[in-house]
Every structure is written in C-alpha cells, then in structure tokens.
Amino acid sequence: MSDPAPDTLQLTGTGRLRNFIGIDGLPRAILEEILDTAASFVDVGDRAIKKVPLLRGKTVINLFFEASTRTRTTFELAAKRLSADVLNMDIARSSTSKGESLMDMLRNLEAMSADMFIVRHGDSGAAHYIARHATPDVAIINAGDGRHAHPTQAMLDMYTIRHYKGRFEGLKVAIIGDILHSRVARSQIHALNILGAEEVRVVAPKTLLPVDIESLGVTVCTDLSQGLRGADVVIALRLQKERMDSALLPSESEFFRLYGLTNDRLRAAHPDAIVMHPGPINRGVEIASEVADGERSVILHQVTFGIAVRMAVMSMCMSGRETERDDSLTPERPHATTR
C-alpha cells in the first residue's frame, strides 16, 4: 500500500506544521512533536515572568464566531505567553453581522498585517475554507468547527494521557456520551489511533452514535459497564442540553441513570484509570460530582496543559511558515559544470 498523500494545507514541503486544521491524516511524528514542544512550555506558567519571546512582534487574532470562554481564554493566554500581540474580535458586533462577507472581513484583517487567525465556527469545514482562501502569510489554527474537528482540545487530551500514563501503546480508552455531535470525540479518535492506543471505545446510546462510526477504527459499546471494563482512560463528553429537544434522549436524568459516571460504575475500569472531561461539565448529567472532584479526575490538569499545548501549536505553525518563506527566498545554487 502506498503512503497517503501529504497534507499540503497543514504541512510545508519539508513536513513542518504550517496550519493546524485537523488531526486526521497528520503523521505521528507531528503529533509527538506537538506533545514534546508542549512539555517544554508547561512550566512557563510557574515563572515570575510568564513569557517567552518566540512570537514577539507577531499579531494573533481570535476569530470566534461561536462562543467559548475556556478555549478563547487559553488561546489568548498562550499567545501572550509567547509574547504575541493579541486581538479578540467581537464577531457579534463586527461588520459580518451587518452584511460584510467573511472573505471581506478576512482581507481587511490581512491588510492589518495579521500573522495568525485562531478560528472557531459553528459550521463544519469553516477553518478549512479560511485556510484555503487566506493569504499564505497568515497561519490558521482551528479552535473548533461544527461537528468536524477540535484538534487542539484533542492534543491537550493526548498530552494529559501521556503525562499520566507515559505511553499510548497498550492503553484502552473509553469515550462516553454524545459521540454524534462531538467534534472533540472525532479528533480524539484520530489522535489516539495515530499515536498507537490499543483500543478506542465509544460508549453511547444508539441515538447518539454516527452510523459510520466503526469506520474510524473504534469499538462500539451501547452498554456502559461493557465500555468501562478494563479501561485505562475514561473520557466523558459534555451532553449538549439542546439535544434534549430533538428527541434523541428522553431526559437528562435518564441519560445519567444509564450512562452517567459514578464511583460505583468506575469500578469496572482499571484500578489506575484516569477520568477526563473536555468541559464545561454538566454535573449529575454525564458525570457525578464525586467523580469530577475525585482522586481519579485530571480535569483541571487538562485546562493547565491546554495552554502549553496551544503554545506549542502556535509556535510550530509560525516556525514552519517562516522556514518555508526563508527557503523560498534562498536562491538555488547553480549546478556544478564539468570541464
């Protein structure tokens, strides 16, 4: 079987990161580089001066067409810790809400010499579209698009798993909840399979499972105890309350009765299993407080690691682009001629 074609939208000609739109199709080496680079940034938040100069003089613009306090805040902190100038666009009050097209807005921001757009959008494929049409001088990072992908969330989850487990080989990971609508779950599945996890399980009622989910390389479980059996990592997903109105589930209490994480149910998992959640948490819906605040929970550490992972992605994208630009400006050496 031939190797897959390189992802030229995300990678430079020499295989370095230039945009970060999704995880599917990226080589394992890039994911490991993100994790290793993030490890070098984790202690920056503990310093008296919480900054490194890697993006000094660069302008990062947060384009959040969809609300997200946690993701936007961690991206802003990450950019500032890299010494970048940061602009948060208030999209609800911007010209796009007054009829200006998305491309017109992007062109105007590009004219202000922006270096990076952090894009969150409710439509699947929005970040990919922007990366296709933005000037090559601007790096694009996907902060979540529709039901498609949330790659930096998945990578901070991978960092958390590696931090506590030290490896991916041999691990059984159970992802529980609304798989159907979760961009986080899709990115997690891709990342876990690329990094070599032994088994990725998705655990949910049939109404919250995509019809083709097996094609992503997962084990499907509709019974929680079966899905938790022997799991080394348990990831609960946020149950979006708006789904209650679409008759996909009878009620929040019914979901918690069948799929909510409690200490009793976690006894089926490996004794050293860790519990994760991308947030925000619905206590008493997908997870009990005794679990969210318990000794197995690493949820708050995920938030801390998220800043370092986003610093890593931003610095790698900028470095990859600058190397690509420098290479394009270097004149070719003339071929030696024989006499």
Q: What is the pLDDT of residues 64-98, one digit of tens each?
A: 988 888 899 999 999 999 999 999 987 755 655 54
pLDDT given at position 67: 81
Q: Looking at residue 5, what DSSP letter applies?
A: P
* Confidence category of residue 298, pLDDT binned at 50, 70, 90: very high
Q: Are 274 and 233 in contact (CB under 8 A)?
A: yes
Q: Are 171 and 165 in contact (CB under 8 A)?
A: yes
Q: Between these two residues, 325 and 269, which has the higher pLDDT value?
A: 269
Q: What is the pLDDT of residues 224-256, one digit of tens each?
A: 999 999 999 999 999 876 555 555 676 888 889
Q: Are 51 and 85 in contact (CB under 8 A)?
A: no
The string of DSSP letters for 109-174 reads HHHTT--EEEEEESSTTHHHHHHHHS-TTSEEEEEEETTTB-HHHHHHHHHHHHHHHS-STT-EEE
pLDDT given at position 251: 80
Q: What is the pLDDT of residues 32-65, one digit of tens each?
A: 999 999 999 999 989 999 999 999 999 999 999 8
pLDDT given at position 91: 75
- Contacts (Cβ under 8 Å, ≥6 apart) of 131: 9, 19, 21, 140
- pTM score, two decimals? 0.91
Count of Cβ atoms closer than 10 Å to residue 338 Cβ: 3
pLDDT given at position 77: 97
* Confidence category of residue 338, pLDDT binned at 50, 70, 90: very low
pLDDT given at position 137: 87
Angle in degrees, 0-180, between the axes of helices 69-81 and 299-329, rounded to the nearest 10 = 50
* Confidence category of residue 1, pLDDT binned at 50, 70, 90: very low
Q: Which helix or strand (DSSP H or E) is residue 199 part of?
A: strand 199-203
Cα 253 to Cα 256: distance, rounded to the nearest angstrom: 5
User: Stretch 183-210: mean pLDDT, rounded?
Assistant: 96
Q: What is the pLDDT of residues 161-173, one digit of tens each?
A: 999 999 999 999 9
Q: Are 268 and 200 in contact (CB under 8 A)?
A: no
The string of DSSP letters for 274-300 reads EEE--S---BTTTB-HHHHTSTTB-HH
C-alpha distance from residue 118 to each of 80, 114, 167, 193, 335 (Å): 14, 11, 30, 26, 42
Mean pLDDT of the chain: 89
Based on its alpha-carbon atoms, the radius of gyration of the chain, rounded to whole angstroms, reads 21
C-alpha distance from residue 253 to each of 81, 263, 287 (Å): 42, 17, 11
Phi, psi values for residue 97, rounded to 5°: -80, -5
